[in-house]
Each structure stands twice: as C-alpha cells, then as structure tokens.
C-alpha cells in the first residue's frame, strides 16, 4: 500500500467562504458573488485553529510581525463580507496564541474613513497582527482605487509596518495613471506600457488560465509531460483549509488532500491508490492526462496550455463535468465557478 507522507503545515490560510464581492480574472480559488454564503461554522473554526496552533510558526521577525506566506491568515472569498465571523476567528486565534496573524482584503467595503478605522482598530484589539491589501488590475475592475488607497493609508496608521500591500508595483502604477475609480482590464491594457507584465507576480493557475491566457505563450499538452507536483502537494510552508473542511495543498484550488474532520489521518499518510488524481500528480502529469483521455474522453485543447496548472485544472474540470466523483476533486463548486 503506497502512502504519500504529508508534513504538518508551518503556515496556513483559512478560507472562511469562497463568496466574494467580485469575480477577479486571476482568482486561484474561483471565488465570486455566485458562491453560497455557507460560511465556516464556529465549531469548525475553533477545531481547525486548535489543530493549526500545534505547528504554525511565527514570522522570522517575531510573533507580532507578519509576512505573506508565514503565520496564519484569514481569507476567502472576501472575509470582510462577514465581519462578525472574521472578528470571532481573530479572537479564537488569539486564544490559541497563533503568531503572525493577518487578514487579506480586496477593500470593497472601504467606502469611508470612519468604517475602515473602526474595523481595523476593532480587529487589532482582538489580537490581529496585520492586514494584507490586494492591489492589482483585476480587482480594479470592481473595487474603486480610492477605496484601496483609503485602506492602505488607514491600515498604515493602525498596523504600521504590518500593513502589507500586494502588489506595491500596481499601487504605484495606478497612482501614476491617476486612477481613482474602477477600470476595466481592457482599458487598463490600453493605458499601460506593455512592459508592465515584467514587473508583476501572476500565478498561471485557477481562473487565470481561462481569463488571462492571452498574456502567456501556449504549449501543447506533451510539453508538460514528465513534470510532477510532488513538492506542491507535499508542501508544508503554506497550505489552505476551506469552509468545507478541505485541506488544500499550497494554492491548488479544487484539490483536497482530505477533510480536516479527520485531521490526523491526513498526516498518517495518504493512500495513493484511493486518490488516483493525487497519485498521478505526484508522479507525472502525463498520467493525469491519460486518465482524462481514456476514462473521461478528454480532448486536448487546440489552443494549447499556458502552464502545467492550466493542463491540470482543465482536465480536472472536464472530469467533474463528466460526472467523475473523485474524493480529491473538491469543492465541486470550484469547477463551476472557474469561467
């Protein structure tokens, strides 16, 4: 019986729900307003945080400092859509002495100074160490930049150095372009120098492989054969757990290594013969392709693929659409909200 050993996580993100105020073209978790508001329950939240508290480590700069892939963060979807749950999550994490704790937000709710200051101060009083403000042209399509700027300015006031801007390059660019409101991505492309893309981080996975494929060179499926995702699947330096209890390796939306209701079982070792998609991914993506073609009549895309994650998610989506009920392909709604 072949087992895959998964180390316990040193850093994690908790997806309170996939529901979001917008539907960004680059979203790795395919969040959108269409998802149900099935927020993580209080019991589940406490259980998950208690388990994570055993292994989450602090930022190298100390427990009160934050970093993008260190400590614990609350995310979604958009966590500020449910401020009372977010507040509860921070209080519970504080109770378990979780270090380097922050929340990330798209700032849709930052319509006036008072609300932003009040909410940031409240969360800080419950024990939140910092905030990550997302800034990019995909959010800009539905969040006015003046709201993002407001959150950054007040965030610095409340959290000082623990206010993170991801990505600072875009903030500078939007200021230079004198943007205040929202802007469509098409309009953004018309207004910037084509070299903008050299300076940014954009992971070619999740919804981006469908909505932003025009930004990338494409390759046939066989170009990616021979590649394995062993390191991504067994990663311990940053994982996610969603509101359904799915233990998601790294940033691989739609893949579940197990349900955290059997938390310890995940780390006893995953029986690969029970999870054929995981088995294929940790071996060679060619095997996933063969499963797709032979068992689910998958047809290779004529346009090609921008990354191995594009090939991976496209085959997984096809399997789900064909009714393939595989334990590791969860949540199912992820695949329905990709496009």
C-beta closer to ligand SF4: residue 26 or 119: 26
3-state secondary structure of 105: strand
Min dist CB 339 to ligand SF4, Å, is 16
Distances (CA, A) of 110 to 78, 119, 144: 13, 10, 9
Cα–Cα distance, 216 to 209 (Å, whole number): 9
Cα–Cα distance, 150 to 164 (Å, whole number): 14
CB 74 within 8 A of CB 103: yes
C-beta closer to ligand SF4: residue 147 or 308: 308
C-beta closer to ligand SF4: residue 87 or 283: 283
Min dist CB 235 to ligand SF4, Å, is 9
Q: How many CB atoms lie within 10 A of CB 314?
A: 20
C-beta closer to ligand SF4: residue 105 or 307: 307
Q: Report residue 200 CA to chain centroid gap.
A: 17
Among 110, 309, 320, 329, binds ligand SF4 (CB under 6 A): 309
How many residues form the binding site for ligand SF4 (CB under 6 A)? 10
252 binds ligand SF4 (CB under 6 A): yes
Min dist CB 37 to ligand SF4, Å, is 26
User: What token pair was written down for 152?
Assistant: 């950054």
281 binds ligand SF4 (CB under 6 A): yes
- In terms of Cα–Cα distance, which of 246, 216, 234 is closest to 328? 246
C-beta closer to ligand SF4: residue 24 or 248: 248
3-state secondary structure of 29: coil
Q: How many CB atoms lie within 10 A of CB 60?
A: 9
Among 229, 280, 319, 320, binds ligand SF4 (CB under 6 A): 229
C-beta closer to ligand SF4: residue 53 or 290: 290
Q: Which residue has the tokens 């390759």?
A: 219
338 binds ligand SF4 (CB under 6 A): no
- State the burial class of residue 4 (Cβ atoms within 10 Å of its Cβ: 0-12, 13-18, 19+): middle
Among 104, 141, 149, 232, binds ligand SF4 (CB under 6 A): 232
C-beta closer to ligand SF4: residue 98 or 319: 319
- In terms of Cα–Cα distance, which of 173, 161, 85, 171 is closest to 129? 161
Residues 41-80 that bind ligand SF4 (CB under 6 A): none
Min dist CB 158 to ligand SF4, Å, is 35
C-beta closer to ligand SF4: residue 52 or 252: 252
308 binds ligand SF4 (CB under 6 A): yes
205 binds ligand SF4 (CB under 6 A): yes
C-beta closer to ligand SF4: residue 37 or 339: 339
Cα–Cα distance, 295 to 280 (Å, whole number): 14
The one segment of 43-51, 114-122, 173-181, 307-315 that binds ligand SF4 by CB under 6 A: 307-315
Min dist CB 232 to ligand SF4, Å, is 4
Could you tell me which residues are beta bridge partners of residue 163?
131
- Which residues touch 24 (CB under 8 Å, ≥6 apart)? 31, 106, 136, 138, 139, 141, 142, 207
Q: Which residue has the tokens 């508290």?
A: 53
Inter-helix orientation angle 113-126/83-95, to 10°? 30
Min dist CB 276 to ligand SF4, Å, is 13
Residues that bind ligand SF4 (CB under 6 A): 205, 229, 232, 252, 255, 281, 308-309, 312-313
């Amino acid at each position: 019986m072949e087992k895959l050993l998964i180390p316990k996580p040193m850093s994690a993100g908790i997806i309170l729900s996939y529901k979001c105020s917008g539907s960004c073209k680059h979203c790795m978790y395919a969040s959108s307003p269409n998802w149900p508001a099935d927020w993580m329950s209080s019991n589940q939240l406490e259980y998950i945080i208690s388990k994570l508290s055993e292994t989450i480590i602090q930022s190298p700069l100390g427990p009160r400092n934050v970093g993008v892939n260190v400590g614990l963060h609350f995310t979604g979807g958009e966590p500020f859509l449910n401020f009372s749950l977010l507040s509860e999550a921070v209080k519970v994490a504080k109770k378990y002495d979780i270090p380097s704790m922050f929340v990330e937000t798209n700032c849709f709710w930052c319509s006036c100074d008072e609300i932003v200051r009040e909410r940031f101060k409240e969360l800080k009083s419950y024990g939140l160490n910092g905030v990550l403000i997302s800034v990019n042209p995909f959010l800009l399509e539905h969040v006015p930049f003046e709201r993002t700027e407001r959150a950054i300015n007040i965030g610095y006031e409340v959290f000082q150095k623990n206010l993170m801007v991801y990505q600072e390059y875009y903030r500078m660019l939007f200021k230079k372009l004198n943007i205040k409101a929202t802007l469509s991505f098409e309009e953004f492309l018309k207004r910037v120098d084509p070299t903008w893309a050299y300076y940014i981080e954009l992971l070619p996975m999740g919804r981006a492989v469908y909505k932003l494929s025009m930004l990338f060179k494409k390759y046939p499926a066989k170009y990616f054969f021979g590649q394995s995702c062993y390191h991504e699947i067994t990663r311990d330096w940053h994982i996610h757990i969603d509101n359904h209890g799915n233990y998601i390796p790294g940033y691989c939306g739609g893949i579940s290594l197990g349900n955290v209701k059997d938390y310890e079982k995940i780390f006893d070792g995953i029986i690969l013969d029970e999870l054929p998609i995981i088995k294929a991914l940790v071996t060679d993506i060619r095997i996933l392709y063969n499963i797709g073609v032979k068992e689910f009549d998958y047809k290779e895309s004529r346009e090609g693929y921008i990354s191995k994650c594009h090939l991976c998610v496209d085959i997984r989506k096809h399997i789900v659409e064909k009714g393939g009920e595989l334990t590791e392909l969860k949540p199912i709604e992820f695949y329905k909200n990709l496009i």
